[in-house]
Amino acid sequence: MRKRRLSFILAVVVVCTGMLSGCSMEKEAKKPDAVSDTKKNSEENAEGKDGKDSEVVIGCAFDYVSDFMANIADAVTEFDDDFDDCKVMISDANFDIPTQIAAVENFISQGADGIIIKPVDSSSCEPITKLCEEAGVPLVTVNGTITSDYYAYVGSDNYYAGQLQAEYAGEALNGEGNVAILIGDPGLEVSVARTDGNIDTLNEKYPNINVIDQQQADWMRDEAVAKVENWLQSDVGQGINAIICNNDEMAIGAAIVCEENGRGDIIICGIDAQADACRFIKEGKMDFTVFQNGHDQGYKACEIIYEKVKNGTESDKEVNIDFEPVDEKNVEEYM
């Protein structure tokens, strides 16, 4: 699997001062099937970046460029590389709602033809929707839905990812035992859907498995370390047989603590198939993750705006990028 490192080239403008992190993380570099036709049309019809009338400007306002979001940021940078008549601008809100709104406003003032967001908060994007509607530009959300209106959403079925995790844990435990769940942010649709997928699947398919605790760890490795340390030092921890996490960063934190405390028997499941998680699975420190193709999400989001602005091509409201289960049997394919 080909990998490349995230590099914000000069053509990509970082418009906010939020801290960029995870920028050296490697990512899967596979493009959507439709990309080749879009690129061909661009090469045949565009005047190039010197012709302002033909240039498509896309503003990307991300919540926080974490290890996983670096894949999406890398993909939009790649789109900028691939299309001479497109310029991409990127901002990092560092999980701050006003900063994200200000970034969108700034992009529009700079002439953006379309906006891509990964929402800081799913229910706080009405001002962004209004800004885009007033400017007459399409709003595409990536890797997270919003409660206000938008032109298109590109992402993966997070409920299904939660189902895959629960099925793996259920089978690994032979249908009996206790599960604890680490939640990213209960205010975000992605966390709710993944956790619902966990709980519904365990209840329906594995009635003898109990969810004995759920804790918020904010997607972060160090937060997960603290939560799992508390679990293992309590009576609850003695009965935990599996820990299911909304993402890999939390799963890695859980795996580190379990190894340090001699609890390698605990099944640990994550989501994203990031490099460290795949390495942990190969080394036997983690058990399962779900590959979320951030590259294809980011690239497709740019393609949707480009096609609408350039050619008037309409997009489906919901565009799904499939999740893929990863365990010790196939982990090397994702490394």
Give per-residue pLDDT as tens, 71-90: 999 999 999 999 999 999 99
Distance CA 212, CA 198 (A): 13
When pLDDT is cut at 50, 70 and 90, the band that residue 230 belongs to is very high
**Which range (40-49, 253-262, 315-324) has the least confidence?**
40-49
Distance CA 157, CA 12 (A): 29
Give CA separation, 133 vs 1, 80, 121, 150, 311, in Å. 40, 24, 19, 9, 20
Give yes or no for a contact between 168 and 287, defined as CB atoms under 8 angstroms apart.
yes
pLDDT at 263: 96
Distance CA 269, CA 164 (A): 10
174 by Cβ neighbours in 10 Å (0-12 / 13-18 / 19+) ranks as: exposed
Give yes or no for a contact between 245 and 224, defined as CB atoms under 8 angstroms apart.
yes
When pLDDT is cut at 50, 70 and 90, the band that residue 154 belongs to is very high
End-to-end, the C-alpha distance of the chain in Å comes to 7
Distance CA 107, CA 91 (A): 9
Span 92-104, average pLDDT = 97
pLDDT, tens digit, for every residue of 125-152? 999 999 999 999 999 999 989 999 999 9
What percentage of the chain carries pLDDT values higher than 90?
79
Instruction: Return the top range by mean pLDDT from 11-15, 22-26, 282-286.
Output: 282-286
Does the pLDDT of residue 238 top 90, yes or no? no
pTM equals 0.73
Distance CA 182, CA 215 (A): 5
Q: Tokens for 254?
A: 């859980």
Mean pLDDT of the chain: 87
Exposure pattern of 23-36 as b/e (b: 16+ CB <10 Å)?
eebbbbbebbeebe
**Which range (60-69, 115-124, 157-166) has the least confidence?**
60-69
Give yes or no for a contact between 212 and 178, defined as CB atoms under 8 angstroms apart.
yes
Please give the torsion angle defined by the CA atoms of residues 171, 184, 76 and 19, in that order, rounded to the nearest 10 degrees.
-140
> Cα 291 to the chain's mean position, in Å?
10
Which SS3 state, helix, strand or coil, does residue 56 take?
A: strand
pLDDT, tens digit, for every residue of 195-228? 999 999 999 999 999 999 999 999 999 999 999 9
When pLDDT is cut at 50, 70 and 90, the band that residue 10 belongs to is very low
Does the pLDDT of residue 231 top 60, yes or no? yes
Residue with tokens 């990998």: 3
Does the pLDDT of residue 15 top 50, yes or no? no
> Cα 39 to the chain's mean position, in Å?
25
Residue with tokens 């603590």: 257
pLDDT at 53: 56
Give CA separation, 43 vs 54, 114, 134, 224, 292, in Å. 12, 21, 31, 47, 30
Please state, as a whole number, how many other Cβ atoms lie within 10 Å of the Cβ of residue 218.
17
